[in-house]
Structure 1
Amino acid sequence: MSLDTWLAFFVACWIISLSPGAGAIASMSSGLNYGFARGYWTALGLQLGLVLQVTVVAAGVGALLATSALAFTLIKWFGVLYLLYLALRQWRAPVQAPDSVALSGAVGVSPWGLLLRGLLVNAGNPKAVVFMLAVLPQFLAVQQPLLPQYLVMGATMIAVDLIVMAGYTGLASRLLRLLRSPRQQRVLNRTFAGLFAGAAGALTLVRRGVS
């Protein structure tokens, strides 16, 4: 991969990662509920899901997903149901005193649970795999070994996404410290619940193909 090609891919990664989606909502939700240090485990889980997606595309399984209506539908509806589950949890999330943010993780979801949450959010989005199947090959030099190029692209995507999700998680964690009343926290929790539900609704509209 030439430097010019990598720079173009690097810019594309920022555009894709900054675009609000289920991953950004999940990161902000975790930052809101658990603070930055604990909530960032969700962002790490999102990267595991990203590794899975790149691996699927590199292995050629993405082409099967793009052409198999059954496989696409099963993964899509898993993602829809999981996002609705997260919406319900966020709607019912308890409010907490701002000073207790650092301790909230002790009684909340474990880091491994948040890691799994991020993984499942990305794994339940077949549109992302089909999108990568359409986009990644455009940056490949087919006359050169493909594996090193996929490794470079995967590492670039993960590095950019870690930075972006750190911003989303940190922003939400700061919002929690600014909330002083249970009513304010409840409104924000239900706002994020609505965002999760909206992401689930958007996913129901996804069809095979990338247009």
Structure 2
Amino acid sequence: MLTMDWSNILSLFGAMLILAAVPSLSVLTVSSKSASGGFIHGFFATLGVVLGDIIFILIALWGLAFLQGAMGDFFVVLKYISGIYLIWLGINTLRAKVNNQNLTKVDAKSLSSSFSAGLLITLADQKAVIFYLGFLPTFVDVNNIVYLDTVVIILTAILSVGGVKLFYAFLAHRSGLLISRKNKRLINYLAGTLMISVGVFLLTSS
């Protein structure tokens, strides 16, 4: 039985909507992917961001200590894998050629890179775990949570966070149609540098 009432659900939706709209690394990632590669790349980057948020929601609701105990050192290994992969994605972004957004065929490999960039940028934000641990208890009693509450919160995140990021992707895509090739290369440079910086931070942080 659902322990959350509709007022809590709507309040949670509104709060997530506003927080997702605040400029951040994920907004920059989604926007740069959409502007340089087309809306489809912004869409896949958004999927990665939303999946990262869902992971943090599950951690916050069901206990970081439990997950760490169950997965052990895999958490540390995952951090280093994410860091290396982000650096690799950043280097490829720096070297990428500016795409013609009128192309009808999209490389599936490049889409997976956009998805991975959105996911890893989100997972690399270590403040997100602390944020969700302090944020969600305002709207739901985590001590008495049931599985249906988890499903509702995840759906709320998909609609709010995903909706906002897709809106950013759409705006970036529309503006990207008017951006010169030189400026698109600059966008690629900024996005690539961002990914490399986050990857290096993951590898060097304790």
Q: For the superposition of Structure 1 and Structure 2, which TM-score range results when normalised by the shorter chain? A: 0.7 to 0.9
The 5-angstrom pairing of residues 91-130 of structure 1 reads: 91-96=94-99, 100-103=100-103, 106-107=106-107, 109-130=109-130
The total of aligned residue pairs comes to 202
Structure 1 equivalent of residue 186 of structure 2: 187
Please, which moves more after superposition, 123-132 or 158-167?
Answer: 123-132
Alignment TM-score, normalising by the size of structure 1: 0.73
- Distance in 2, matches of 1:134 and 1:71, equals 25
The 5-angstrom pairing of residues 52-201 of structure 1 reads: 52-60=55-63, 62-63=64-65, 81-96=84-99, 100-103=100-103, 106-107=106-107, 109-141=109-141, 145-180=145-180, 182-196=181-195
The secondary structure found in structure 1 opposite 2:103 is helix
The secondary structure found in structure 1 opposite 2:153 is helix
Q: 1:165 Cα shift?
A: 1.0
Answer whether contact 2:121 2:198 (CA < 8 A) is retained.
no
Change (3 A) 1:198 1:40: same
Q: 1:191 Cα shift?
A: 3.3
Deviations 1:125-177 (A, max 9, x none): 33212221221122114685432222212211111111111122112222321
Alignment TM-score, normalising by the size of structure 2: 0.75
Answer whether contact 1:28 1:168 (CA < 8 A) is retained.
yes
The percent identity for this pair of structures is 26
Change (3 A) 1:135 1:108: same
Structure 2 equivalent of residue 34 of structure 1: 37
1:28 is aligned with what amino acid? Answer: S
- Distance in 2, matches of 1:126 and 1:52, equals 12
2:168 is aligned with what amino acid? Answer: Y
The secondary structure found in structure 2 opposite 1:103 is coil
Can you give the 5+ residue segments of structure 1 that lack an aligned partner in the other structure?
none
- Distance in 2, matches of 1:50 and 1:166, equals 15
Can you give the 5+ residue segments of structure 2 that lack an aligned partner in the other structure?
none
The secondary structure found in structure 2 opposite 1:102 is coil
- Distance in 1, matches of 2:133 and 2:159, equals 20
- Distance in 1, matches of 2:191 and 2:29, equals 9
Deviations 1:76-95 (A, max 9, x none): 66555554444433332212
Answer whether contact 2:28 2:191 (CA < 8 A) is retained.
yes
- Distance in 1, matches of 2:186 and 2:150, equals 43
1:162 is aligned with what amino acid? Answer: G
- Distance in 2, matches of 1:104 and 1:26, equals 23
